[in-house]
Homo-oligomer: A and B are copies of this chain.
Amino acid sequence: MADNRKRRRTDPTGDELPFKNKLKPDSAILEILKAFSTSSSASSSSSAAKTLTLQDLALPFRCREVADLSLSSVQTNIESLILKIAHSILAGHGFSFDVPSRSSANQLYVPELDRIVLKDKSSLRPFASISTVRKSAITTRILQLIHQLCIKGIHVTKRDLFYTDVKLFQDQIQSDAVLDDVSCMLGCTRSSLNVVAAEKGVVVGRLIFSDNGDMIDCTKMGMGGKAIPPNIDRVGDMQSDALFILLVEKDAAYMRLAEDRFYNRFPCIIVTAKGQPDVSTRLFLRKMKTELKLPVLALVDSDPYGLKILSVYGCGSKNMSYDSANLTTPDIKWLGVRPSDLDKYKIPEQCRLPMTEQDIKTGKDLLEEDFVKKNPGWVEELTLMVKTKQKAEIQALSTFGFQYLSEVYLPLKLQQKDWL
């Protein structure tokens, strides 16, 4: 490669890259990042000392939250639950489960906590009733299967669980729904039940961690990176000298940064779920943020889905709101690509895409969401997007050259502390 470079004239687009002349030397940008990282870590440790919990808030109603429990606690909880039921049957009171409601009427966004939580409504699921006999049988069976997983100490997928008793479950939707019920009933996260989601995410950069006992150095994972493990409880010993975590929506941008080893120029950890955030990546991101106390910067498409993806990482998805405390990573900064960047960075018209009716509707709906409203900067950006009716992908930056993202756009963003 080196001799090629010598033989040829220098890259024509080299120094004419828009805004490249605004870039300070890397050392100056590093100073900015160090200050940011320190203040962020200080604020998260001081807030750790006074982290608000549901109890602190004295809300006018009770809320339900789940926690990570050890395998043996889950096992004990199941055994006490079944024992209680046995007593109830022996006492002549019959057999029924008290199941927390997970419906949207029972959900609530709590601004102080910046996430969606579940209120404490619950309903009885008696065995001796035609309308609930099947569901209570399924619940018992799922409890039994989870108990087996506890004893064996292994992880399975929801699909595996379904196939252990197709005759009873009939449809995976039914076993999945009851699995979430069981999480709520036992007061533990789904990953505590050893039921894991398919893995999709990858991580690369300044991070060392253990996966099932193996030490992984993510600076030595080439361009492919390390696949994020599906079972967060076997992940530990996180160490890092990074100054921030860069959360990337798309695979293509991730690859560009991994190949350019962006994390060596600006010490960081780069992570992507390749589109929609999956549970494993969300758990992994949260664990990194909590253990390493690093700020998280998000690089997503400039469209309503980009912001939606950011929000799922940040404050949870509605159908897993009972688990929001464990799945969400608070205080993610929106680095880019933001609607205002399109003009600021002079993205050519032909690289912007018109928003569809559906896009605009999604954008307007997002403007009504509490987690957007509480951040005035986000409201401004989203309003601009809906007004201009234009969207753009991260890849649109390639219009200025393949490495514009890693060589100009991101460094300048970091230098200008241009995040919201």
Q: How far is the CA of A189 from the CA of B161 in the complex (A)?
A: 43
Do A215 and B220 have beta carbons less than 8 Å apart? yes
Q: How far is the CA of A234 from the CA of B149 in the complex (A)?
A: 41
Per-residue contact bits, chain A 188-211, to B (CB 8 Å; 1 contact, 0 not): 000000001011101000000011
Chain B residue at minimal CB-CB distance from A163: B398
Contact of A398 among B153, B164, B210 (CB under 8 A): B164
Per-residue contact bits, chain A 258-297, to B (CB 8 Å; 1 contact, 0 not): 0110000000000000100000000000000000000000
Chain B residue at minimal CB-CB distance from A75: B4
Residues on B with C-beta less than 8 A from A411 are none
Q: In the complex, which residues 117-162 of chain A have their Cβ closer than 8 Å to any Cβ of chain B?
A: 148-157, 159-162
Residues on B with C-beta less than 8 A from A163 are 351, 393, 395-399
Residues on B with C-beta less than 8 A from A42 are none
Q: How far is the CB of A355 from chain B (nearest CB, A)?
A: 16
Given contacts A154-B403, A159-B252, A198-B251, are A212 and B216 in contact (CB under 8 A)? no
Is A60 located at the chain interface by the 8 A CB criterion? no
Is A337 located at the chain interface by the 8 A CB criterion? no
Q: How far is the CA of A153 from the CA of B2 in the complex (A)?
A: 9
Do B156 and A398 have beta carbons less than 8 Å apart? yes
Do B229 and A227 have beta carbons less than 8 Å apart? no
Per-residue contact bits, chain A 208-239, to B (CB 8 Å; 1 contact, 0 not): 00111111100111111111111100110000
Chain B residue at minimal CB-CB distance from A150: B4
Residues on B with C-beta less than 8 A from A53 are none
Do A198 and B274 have beta carbons less than 8 Å apart? yes
Do A221 and B225 have beta carbons less than 8 Å apart? no
Given contacts A214-B222, A230-B224, are A350 and B154 in contact (CB under 8 A)? no
Contact of A226 among B160, B166, B226 (CB under 8 A): B226
Contact of A212 among B162, B223, B348 (CB under 8 A): B223
Per-residue contact bits, chain A 319-351, to B (CB 8 Å; 1 contact, 0 not): 000000000000000000000000000001011
Given contacts A11-B148, A259-B154, are A351 and B223 in contact (CB under 8 A)? no
Q: How far is the CA of A216 from the CA of B274 in the complex (A)?
A: 22
Chain B residue at minimal CB-CB distance from A228: B224
Do B398 and A255 have beta carbons less than 8 Å apart? no
Q: How far is the CA of A304 from the CA of B222 in the complex (A)?
A: 36
Given contacts A11-B151, A166-B350, A167-B350, are A225 and B227 in contact (CB under 8 A)? yes
Given contacts A4-B150, A224-B229, A231-B259, 9 further A-B contacts (CB under 8 A): A155-B255, A155-B259, A164-B399, A164-B401, A166-B350, A166-B399, A211-B222, A221-B226, A225-B227
Q: List 20 A-B contacts (CB under 8 A).
A: A4-B75, A8-B151, A11-B152, A154-B260, A154-B402, A156-B402, A159-B393, A163-B398, A163-B399, A164-B398, A164-B402, A166-B348, A198-B251, A198-B274, A199-B224, A200-B274, A211-B224, A215-B220, A223-B229, A226-B226
Chain A residues with a Cβ under 8 A of chain B: 1, 4-5, 8, 11, 71-72, 75, 148-157, 159-167, 196, 198-200, 202, 210-216, 219-231, 234-235, 251-252, 255-256, 259-260, 274, 348, 350-351, 393, 395-399, 401-403
